[in-house]
Chains A and B, each alone.
Chain A
Amino acid sequence: MKFLSLNRALATDFLVDFVRAEVRKFGFEKVVLGLSGGIDSALSAAFAVRALGASQVLAYALPHAASAPSSLEDARAVASALGIELQVIDITAAVEALRASLACDDARGLGNIKARVRMICLYERSRSERALVLGTSNKTELLLGYGTQHADMASGLNPLGDLYKTQVFALAEHVGLPRVVIDKAPSADLWVGQRDEDELGFSYSDVDRLLVRMIDRRESDEDLVDDGFALDFVESIRSKVRNAQYKRQAPIIAKVGLRTIGIDFLYQRDWGR
């Protein structure tokens, strides 16, 4: 846990304050999020409940017929522990219609369609309920590009984006999330039997120990290898981070005028807020 340990109470206070401040600045009182039954969405929801109150957190389970039944059970356990209402919207019909129209039989393609249909559901609820979409992507996923653009990576604000997965686990313990979501193996549940760590080929604990030193402490490959990380692991992670840079940014715009959005039209999002 060297370099990954953090002051859990203070981090919780800050992230709860972040959710409260950024939601209210934009004239909202509520957030909407998908509760997958996993630890990330559970932690985001827990911060939102502390920030805004349980009645202001609109949680949706968005199962597909092929989703693991345990995911929905775990989402219910989280909602019950947090005292929030969980609504279920089945995405099977929408996904299957798109699968047929697009003649998509690729597992990854179908996984992306499911993730993007979930985004559409949340953004429609965002509009109808006047609630901001709360993000659930952690720093490990964002750095590795282990997420779908315009899908699970889409949100209005994201309290987890600077927390490594290891830190998400630590804060989940701190805020007292149900044991079942802390103990189970992380999974995007986009196909039967999917497990993050099998798909990635390494454990979150190993990659977080590497990432915190590579990114936050700016250590060189030589230093990392000297300290016992395998060179091919270091190189493959550095390349994943570089290759996913596009996913973390707005689309690039060609400069034609004097002041160009994203280049020299320099205003913060919180402009006037």
Chain B
Amino acid sequence: MNGLSRGILFRYAWRGLWQRRACLLYVLFLPVVAWLLPRLTPWEENPPVLAPARVQAVCFYLWGGLLAFFPFQAAVLGRRLHTEGLLEHWRAGGRKPWRLALELAAAVWLWVVAATSAGMLICALFCAPAQPVEAGLWRLLVIQQGGLLLLVSGPLILLAGAVGAAVSELAGTLVAASLVALGLFGIDWLQPLLAPGARGGPLSWLWVALPHYDLADLTSRFLFKLGPLPGAVFAGSAVALGLQGLALVLVSLCLFRAKS
């Protein structure tokens, strides 16, 4: 024992995030959003849309968090640890930079897990269809959505934290937010230009390298009750997003700077 707790950066960062309450409020606000936002619409004209609208509100809230809130938290945390001199302090103590980076990201990612779990619980318990077979398929879709969200969020948080520590809070937030925006919305615009079949060669490779977070957004399947993704499609999406996430993790670890 060297007097320092295990997972020291994780514990320290998590304690700070808990003390600030911002992440806690984000999670606690999720049920409010799921209940309130659908009721701001003229839902009385067609009451059955209330449940899908709740799902849409939850998904919107979670993706919104992944677009801005969580990357910002990670980037601010990374920058703060850098300016406080703690990254250097722990680095001098022999801790590996990759471990510091992963602990930093884990402290924020835990809140993503909490928010995603809360969101998926709301979807599964309060928005599921009444018919038992449909409800079973609905729950499977909920699990798929939660899994894909968690899969893409980890590397994004790590990237934001790494860039935040190395450059600035703003840079960390913007880099991660840009990737999410590109992966969710930009990909549809770029598909006609870059997708395999449209053009060959390097453009196709660029298409492969672009973030495909649209694969992880199953909101439309909830809204139109399309059921869960077929096993092969889900596995393909998970592998593609996992490989992209792995690449993002490697880039993040290269960018992370524990020393000034």
Partners in one complex: no
